[in-house]
């Protein structure tokens, strides 16, 4: 499979909030992405179009366990992710996921992949900085140290970012990368952008809020 912008964005969505199920012994081969049934139906249509237009794969979308779930069954696609891109699967994914090297070394593909990560597992909000209560921030959270370091290294080349990690009780350590401030958030919108209407609407609302917005 030859990677392009759309496929890189799709792989970013899988990295951000996807499950890669690879169980040859019981013939289970699928990818699942989970979203918000109230806010992300349009985004899931966008992902459906990529799956079909780029890979000729049909999606199955259901609302289950209070989540919007998109599932694609394909042995060849799952094996491409596992064997060609070397992506971790099953229970090993969350703490070990990373951006594949083929994408990491191509700046255009990387931006598309990061867009997919933020669309599924990122947020845009106003932070309270004390001196200012409406400080625009894009934030990505992950339990994968490798992914966090990749994002830190690549994004810090073009953006002013924040980077921190913490651990609570028996939970996995969480790494957070943030893009902060009006200028940086606007640059993100221009250079990387969003495909998820949930975040696009949030960005437009902040833009329209006047001098205290972005």
Fold of 5-94: Endonuclease I-creI (3.10.28)
Model-level pTM greater than 0.75? yes
The CATH number of 119-212 is 3.10.28.10
Query: What pLDDT digit, counting tens, does each position of 32-74 carry?
Result: 999 999 999 999 999 999 999 999 999 999 998 788 999 999 9
pLDDT in tens, 152-164: 999 999 999 999 9
Asked if the domains at 5-94 and 119-212 fall in one CATH topology, the answer is: yes
Q: What is the pLDDT confidence band of residue 165, given thresholds at 50, 70 and 90?
A: very high
Distance CA 154, CA 104 (A): 9
What tokens were used for 164? 């921190």
Handedness of CA 108, 109, 111, 115 (dihedral sign): positive
pLDDT at 168 > cutoff 90: no
Confidence of residue 127 (pLDDT cuts 50, 70, 90): confident
Residue 76: CB atoms within 10 Å: 10
pLDDT at residue 173 is higher than 80: yes
Domain layout of the chain by residue ranges: 5-94, 119-212
Output phi, psi for 101, to 5 deg: -60, -40
- Helix H, strand E, coil C: the string for 121-161 is HEEEEEECCCCCCCEEEEEEEECCHHHHHHHHHHHCCCCCE
């Amino acid at each position: 499979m030859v990677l392009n912008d759309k496929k890189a964005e799709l792989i970013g969505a899988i990295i951000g909030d996807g499950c890669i199920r690879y169980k040859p012994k019981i013939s289970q081969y699928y990818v699942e992405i989970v979203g918000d049934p109230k806010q992300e139906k349009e985004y899931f249509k966008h992902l459906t179009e990529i799956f079909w237009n780029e890979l000729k794969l049909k999606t199955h979308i259901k609302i289950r366990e209070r989540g919007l779930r998109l599932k694609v069954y394909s042995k060849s696609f799952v094996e491409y992710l596992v064997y060609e891109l070397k992506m971790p699967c099953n229970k090993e994914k969350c703490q070990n996921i990373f951006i594949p090297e083929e994408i990491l070394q191509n700046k255009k593909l990387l931006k598309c992949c990061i867009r997919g990560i933020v669309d599924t597992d990122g947020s845009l909000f106003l932070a309270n900085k004390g001196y200012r209560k409406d400080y625009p921030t894009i934030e990505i959270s992950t339990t994968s140290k490798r992914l966090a370091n990749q994002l830190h290294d690549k994004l810090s080349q073009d953006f002013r970012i924040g980077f921190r990690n913490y651990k609570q009780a028996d939970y996995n350590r969480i790494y957070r990368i943030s893009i902060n401030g009006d200028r940086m958030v606007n640059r993100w919108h221009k250079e990387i952008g969003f495909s998820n209407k949930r975040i696009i609407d949030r960005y437009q609302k902040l833009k329209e809020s006047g001098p205290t917005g972005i």
